[in-house]
Amino acid sequence: MSQDFQEFLDDCRRLIGTDATPSQCVEAIVPLMHNLLPGAGARLSPGHRRSDEHHYTRNAILVGEQLSLYAIVWRPGQWTPVHDHGSWGVVGVLEGALHERAWLRTSPDDGRDAAITLVPGGVLVLGPGSVTSFVPNPDHIHVTGVPADAPPVLSLHLYGRNMNSFHMYDIGAGTRSRIALEHNES
Protein backbone atom coordinates (compact mmCIF):
# COMPACT_ATOMS: atom_id res chain seq x y z
CA MET A 1 0.00 0.00 0.00
CA SER A 2 1.37 3.40 -0.92
CA GLN A 3 2.28 5.85 1.82
CA ASP A 4 -0.54 8.19 0.70
CA PHE A 5 -3.17 5.50 1.20
CA GLN A 6 -1.70 4.53 4.58
CA GLU A 7 -1.72 8.17 5.72
CA PHE A 8 -5.31 8.56 4.48
CA LEU A 9 -6.45 5.53 6.47
CA ASP A 10 -4.49 6.63 9.56
CA ASP A 11 -6.11 10.08 9.33
CA CYS A 12 -9.56 8.48 8.94
CA ARG A 13 -9.05 6.34 12.04
CA ARG A 14 -7.80 9.33 14.04
CA LEU A 15 -10.68 11.58 13.00
CA ILE A 16 -13.52 9.15 13.57
CA GLY A 17 -12.25 7.62 16.80
CA THR A 18 -14.51 5.04 18.39
CA ASP A 19 -17.62 7.03 19.32
CA ALA A 20 -18.37 8.92 16.11
CA THR A 21 -21.81 8.61 14.54
CA PRO A 22 -22.04 7.58 10.87
CA SER A 23 -22.86 11.19 9.96
CA GLN A 24 -19.81 12.48 11.84
CA CYS A 25 -17.63 9.86 10.11
CA VAL A 26 -18.60 10.89 6.58
CA GLU A 27 -18.42 14.60 7.44
CA ALA A 28 -14.83 14.14 8.64
CA ILE A 29 -13.72 11.82 5.82
CA VAL A 30 -15.23 13.47 2.72
CA PRO A 31 -12.56 16.25 2.71
CA LEU A 32 -9.83 13.64 3.21
CA MET A 33 -11.10 11.64 0.22
CA HIS A 34 -11.33 14.80 -1.86
CA ASN A 35 -7.70 15.64 -1.03
CA LEU A 36 -6.55 12.07 -1.75
CA LEU A 37 -8.04 11.86 -5.26
CA PRO A 38 -5.59 14.05 -7.24
CA GLY A 39 -2.87 11.67 -8.36
CA ALA A 40 -4.25 8.68 -6.41
CA GLY A 41 -4.81 6.70 -9.60
CA ALA A 42 -1.09 6.88 -10.38
CA ARG A 43 -0.30 5.54 -6.90
CA LEU A 44 -2.45 2.43 -7.28
CA SER A 45 -0.63 -0.82 -7.96
CA PRO A 46 -1.46 -2.84 -11.10
CA GLY A 47 -3.38 -5.21 -8.82
CA HIS A 48 -5.74 -2.40 -7.84
CA ARG A 49 -6.67 -1.92 -11.51
CA ARG A 50 -7.68 -5.51 -12.23
CA SER A 51 -11.00 -5.93 -14.00
CA ASP A 52 -13.28 -8.71 -15.13
CA GLU A 53 -15.27 -8.79 -18.36
CA HIS A 54 -18.35 -10.19 -16.57
CA HIS A 55 -18.78 -7.96 -13.50
CA TYR A 56 -17.37 -4.95 -11.71
CA THR A 57 -14.24 -5.75 -9.73
CA ARG A 58 -13.49 -4.92 -6.10
CA ASN A 59 -9.73 -4.75 -5.50
CA ALA A 60 -8.87 -4.54 -1.80
CA ILE A 61 -6.46 -1.87 -0.63
CA LEU A 62 -7.27 -2.54 3.05
CA VAL A 63 -9.85 -4.83 4.63
CA GLY A 64 -10.30 -4.41 8.36
CA GLU A 65 -13.08 -4.75 10.91
CA GLN A 66 -13.74 -0.99 11.20
CA LEU A 67 -12.56 0.28 7.81
CA SER A 68 -12.23 -1.23 4.37
CA LEU A 69 -10.95 0.53 1.26
CA TYR A 70 -11.35 -0.78 -2.30
CA ALA A 71 -10.36 0.35 -5.76
CA ILE A 72 -13.34 -0.65 -7.89
CA VAL A 73 -13.04 -1.06 -11.65
CA TRP A 74 -16.20 -0.77 -13.74
CA ARG A 75 -16.21 -1.75 -17.39
CA PRO A 76 -18.91 -0.40 -19.70
CA GLY A 77 -22.28 -2.03 -18.96
CA GLN A 78 -21.33 -3.26 -15.47
CA TRP A 79 -23.73 -2.51 -12.60
CA THR A 80 -24.27 -3.57 -9.02
CA PRO A 81 -27.56 -5.14 -8.04
CA VAL A 82 -29.93 -2.91 -6.06
CA HIS A 83 -28.36 -3.01 -2.59
CA ASP A 84 -27.60 -1.32 0.69
CA HIS A 85 -24.36 -1.42 2.68
CA GLY A 86 -25.42 -1.55 6.32
CA SER A 87 -22.63 0.96 6.93
CA TRP A 88 -21.53 4.47 6.24
CA GLY A 89 -19.33 5.01 3.21
CA VAL A 90 -17.37 7.57 1.21
CA VAL A 91 -16.78 7.16 -2.55
CA GLY A 92 -14.38 9.11 -4.75
CA VAL A 93 -14.14 8.85 -8.53
CA LEU A 94 -10.66 8.72 -10.07
CA GLU A 95 -11.46 8.07 -13.75
CA GLY A 96 -14.64 8.07 -15.82
CA ALA A 97 -18.19 8.84 -14.69
CA LEU A 98 -19.88 6.61 -12.13
CA HIS A 99 -23.68 6.53 -12.32
CA GLU A 100 -25.89 6.02 -9.28
CA ARG A 101 -29.67 5.51 -9.07
CA ALA A 102 -31.20 5.81 -5.60
CA TRP A 103 -34.13 3.64 -4.50
CA LEU A 104 -36.47 4.91 -1.79
CA ARG A 105 -38.19 2.56 0.61
CA THR A 106 -41.89 3.39 0.95
CA SER A 107 -42.78 0.43 3.19
CA PRO A 108 -42.01 0.50 6.92
CA ASP A 109 -38.56 -0.79 7.82
CA ASP A 110 -39.45 -3.26 10.53
CA GLY A 111 -36.42 -5.49 9.98
CA ARG A 112 -38.21 -8.02 7.82
CA ASP A 113 -36.73 -9.16 4.52
CA ALA A 114 -40.13 -9.31 2.77
CA ALA A 115 -42.98 -6.94 1.90
CA ILE A 116 -40.45 -4.26 0.92
CA THR A 117 -41.65 -1.60 -1.47
CA LEU A 118 -39.06 0.52 -3.30
CA VAL A 119 -39.59 3.34 -5.77
CA PRO A 120 -36.95 4.95 -8.02
CA GLY A 121 -35.24 8.01 -6.58
CA GLY A 122 -32.77 10.46 -8.00
CA VAL A 123 -29.81 9.87 -10.28
CA LEU A 124 -26.25 11.10 -9.81
CA VAL A 125 -23.41 11.10 -12.32
CA LEU A 126 -20.08 11.44 -10.53
CA GLY A 127 -17.12 12.51 -12.65
CA PRO A 128 -13.39 12.49 -11.86
CA GLY A 129 -12.67 14.23 -8.57
CA SER A 130 -16.25 13.82 -7.31
CA VAL A 131 -16.88 12.55 -3.80
CA THR A 132 -20.16 11.26 -2.39
CA SER A 133 -21.12 9.69 0.93
CA PHE A 134 -23.93 7.77 2.59
CA VAL A 135 -25.06 6.72 6.03
CA PRO A 136 -27.33 3.87 7.19
CA ASN A 137 -30.58 4.17 9.12
CA PRO A 138 -32.42 4.53 6.89
CA ASP A 139 -30.32 2.40 4.62
CA HIS A 140 -28.92 3.99 1.50
CA ILE A 141 -30.42 1.74 -1.19
CA HIS A 142 -29.04 2.18 -4.69
CA VAL A 143 -27.57 0.72 -7.84
CA THR A 144 -24.26 1.97 -9.27
CA GLY A 145 -22.41 1.31 -12.47
CA VAL A 146 -21.48 2.43 -15.94
CA PRO A 147 -23.71 2.61 -19.04
CA ALA A 148 -22.76 0.30 -21.91
CA ASP A 149 -21.72 3.21 -24.13
CA ALA A 150 -19.52 4.96 -21.51
CA PRO A 151 -15.80 4.69 -20.78
CA PRO A 152 -14.56 2.52 -17.88
CA VAL A 153 -14.57 3.92 -14.35
CA LEU A 154 -12.07 3.64 -11.49
CA SER A 155 -13.33 4.64 -8.05
CA LEU A 156 -12.24 4.41 -4.41
CA HIS A 157 -14.77 3.13 -1.85
CA LEU A 158 -14.21 3.46 1.90
CA TYR A 159 -16.66 1.72 4.24
CA GLY A 160 -17.05 1.83 8.02
CA ARG A 161 -16.87 -1.96 8.35
CA ASN A 162 -15.49 -5.06 6.68
CA MET A 163 -17.59 -4.88 3.51
CA ASN A 164 -17.81 -8.64 2.97
CA SER A 165 -21.59 -8.69 2.42
CA PHE A 166 -24.58 -6.48 1.70
CA HIS A 167 -28.35 -6.67 1.32
CA MET A 168 -29.46 -7.24 -2.26
CA TYR A 169 -33.04 -6.25 -3.12
CA ASP A 170 -35.43 -7.95 -5.53
CA ILE A 171 -37.75 -5.08 -6.42
CA GLY A 172 -40.37 -7.22 -8.17
CA ALA A 173 -40.60 -9.75 -5.33
CA GLY A 174 -40.35 -7.08 -2.61
CA THR A 175 -37.59 -8.95 -0.81
CA ARG A 176 -34.01 -8.54 0.29
CA SER A 177 -31.34 -11.08 1.14
CA ARG A 178 -27.81 -10.81 2.49
CA ILE A 179 -25.20 -11.91 -0.02
CA ALA A 180 -21.47 -12.46 0.41
CA LEU A 181 -19.14 -10.20 -1.57
CA GLU A 182 -15.85 -11.21 -3.12
CA HIS A 183 -12.82 -9.05 -3.69
CA ASN A 184 -9.33 -9.41 -5.08
CA GLU A 185 -6.46 -9.20 -2.62
CA SER A 186 -3.93 -6.62 -3.72
pLDDT above 90: residue 17: no
The reported pLDDT for the residue numbered 3 is 77
Architecture of the domain delimited by 3-180: Sandwich (2.60)
pLDDT exceeds cutoff 70 at 25: yes
CA distance 66 to 31: 19
Report the percentage of the chain scoring pLDDT > 90.
88
- Which pLDDT band, with edges at 50, 70 and 90, does 125 fall under? very high
Answering whether pTM is above 0.85, one says yes
| Overall average pLDDT of the 6-19 stretch | 90
- Give the model's confidence band at 1: pLDDT under 50 very low, under 70 low, under 90 confident, else very high: low
DSSP SS3 for 30? helix
Find the Cα–Cα–Cα–Cα dihedral 136, 20, 41, 37, rounded to 10°.
Answer: 100
| 99-115 confidence digits (pLDDT tens) | 999 999 999 888 899 99
Mean pLDDT of 31-53: 95
Domain boundaries, the chain: 3-180
Q: 19 pLDDT exceeds 80?
A: yes
- Least Cα distance to 41 among 112, 96, 81, 89 occurs for 96
Q: Considering only CA atoms, which of 62, 142, 122, 127 is closest in space to residue 94?
A: 127
